[in-house]
Structure 1
Amino acid sequence: MIPHIDLSVDPSFPEGVPMALPPEDEISEEGYGFFRDVWDISGVTHDEARAVVDEERRLVDLVDQVTETVEEFEAIAGAVEVGNPNALPPNLADKRPNSEILEIVGDGDREIGVLDGLEIGVAGLSYALSSIGCFPAASCRSHATPRSWADRPVVFFAAERTTVHWLTPLVRDSGCGFGDGSDRGNLLLVEAPSISHLMDLASRILAQVEQQRH
């Protein structure tokens, strides 16, 4: 069960929001925009973004198939991300003994997270934005736990004005909206009622690029 919230979004071109890539001297190993536990993923290639978008879709579909509540989705998605079998619902192995989820999570010895350490549901969009010259600054799929710093699925990013114009119809058609992230720097954001919308936007971005290549 993919979480969905009641959220009104504004897909119109975000007039008045700063639109520029961050100066190189303001980007550190911890990224840009005064966020914690972030890192620089700029300069992603189209093929790299395609791989993450496709893998993210596969993982979300797998988690969706074995969950019936928002809490279950959060627990299993988190377990998949970091390879923590202790975070799985205790009856999952009994109810779904053949689920690929169990193999992906493993026995807890995994050192590297899936999707290069980003969260399921926002990783694909972060990589898609990077592949078209944007600078992803932070992302959160929103969590059914007190530790969630975002109350809705969101990706903060920096981009030039021409890129935002290009993105605007794709944001609208995917059911997402823009927001103002300028309290953290030259940033805007994309938000949505669910990660399904953000994943759709990521797919539309890559498909548009592929269409324009032909």
Structure 2
Amino acid sequence: MRLDVDPSFPADLAMGLPDEDQVSEEGYGYFRDVWAMGEVTHEEAVHMIKEERRLVGLVDQGSQNHAEFEALAKALERGEPEYLPPGYASEHPSSGLVQFLSELDEETPTLDALELGVAGLSYALTSIGCFTAASCRSHRSDTSWTDRPVVFFAAERPTVHWLTPMVRESGCGFADGSERADKLLIVEAPSITNLMDLAERIVQQAQRQKAIGV
């Protein structure tokens, strides 16, 4: 299925950051199982993006179809080998993914409990002053609440202007998220690869501008 996205600046949508009294410990926008991320430094965003790339590579290398990718991703995200396909660990004992799961620290959630493909972008957006409200890589199941990878966020208009060329270049697009809460935008993409590309572009551009004092 081909997914179309709109990479143009969403000029007709309300923008801005939510007021402090609109944000609770569970976040903003009536989403379930979310939380306010707080501040994220540039270095933290870069680290998350690199770690996400590494883990997506492990899942991609270990799966031969979409169903396996979903199962491996779920096991990694939850840090629980029981979500692996039956017999997978015994058949692939030396795989990077199986080794990663066997060495996990149970008190440190993988990717800060965010999902593969949206964790890096959530960190990147937060590091440049956006407020990220929710994200989902999209799941191949009837319970997935989105048919494409998405990150819901709020940002000031100049920030969205700054993001727009990178959204376009990475094959992503904008959509209206205000049904969830005022001023929420959505950055969406045909695949998590596009969102990971956007995350890298954001931190690279932020670093270049910092280097020249912009």
**Bin for the TM-score computed over the shorter chain:** over 0.9
Q: Deviations over 1:153-205 (max 9, x none)?
A: 00000000000000000000000000000111210000000000000000000
Query: For residue 207 of structure 1, what is the aligned residue in structure 2?
Result: 204
Letter of the 1:174 counterpart: S
Letter of the 2:150 counterpart: V
1:91 lines up with 2:87 in the alignment: yes
CA–CA distance in structure 1, aligned partners of residues 28 and 124 of structure 2? 18
Moved more, 82-91 or 56-65: 82-91
Q: Deviations over 1:88-126 (max 9, x none)?
A: 012323442211211222288824320101001100000
CA contact (8 A) 2:93 2:99 kept: no
Query: For residue 148 of structure 2, what is the aligned residue in structure 1?
Result: 152
Offset of 1:141 from its aligned partner? 0.1
CA contact (8 A) 2:56 2:116 kept: yes
Query: For residue 75 of structure 1, what is the aligned residue in structure 2?
Result: 71
1:141 lines up with 2:137 in the alignment: yes
Query: For residue 22 of structure 1, what is the aligned residue in structure 2?
Result: 18
Structure 1 gap segments, 5+ residues each: none
Letter of the 1:212 counterpart: Q
CA contact (8 A) 1:137 1:157 kept: yes
Letter of the 1:165 counterpart: H
Query: For residue 190 of structure 2, what is the aligned residue in structure 1?
Result: 193
- Say if 1:166 and 1:99 are closer, same or farther in 2 by CA, change over 3 A: same
Moved more, 139-148 or 89-98: 89-98
Offset of 1:19 from its aligned partner? 0.5
Letter of the 1:203 counterpart: E
Letter of the 1:196 counterpart: T
CA contact (8 A) 1:137 1:156 kept: yes
CA–CA distance in structure 1, aligned partners of residues 143 and 65 of structure 2? 18
CA–CA distance in structure 2, aligned partners of residues 78 and 55 of structure 1? 16
TM-score (normalizing by structure 1): 0.94
1:35 lines up with 2:31 in the alignment: yes
3-state secondary structure, aligned to 2:21: helix
After the TM superposition, which residues 125-136 of structure 1 pair with which residues of structure 2 at under 5 Å, given as runs?
Answer: 125-136=121-132
Offset of 1:16 from its aligned partner? 1.3
CA–CA distance in structure 1, aligned partners of residues 102 and 141 of structure 2? 23
Structure 2 gap segments, 5+ residues each: none
What do you get for the CA RMSD once the two structures are aligned?
A: 1.4
Query: For residue 184 of structure 1, what is the aligned residue in structure 2?
Result: 180
Flag as ranges the 4+ runs of structure 1 deviating above 3 A. none
- Give identity over the alignment, percent: 61
TM-score (normalizing by structure 2): 0.94
3-state secondary structure, aligned to 1:139: strand
CA–CA distance in structure 1, aligned partners of residues 185 and 104 of structure 2? 36
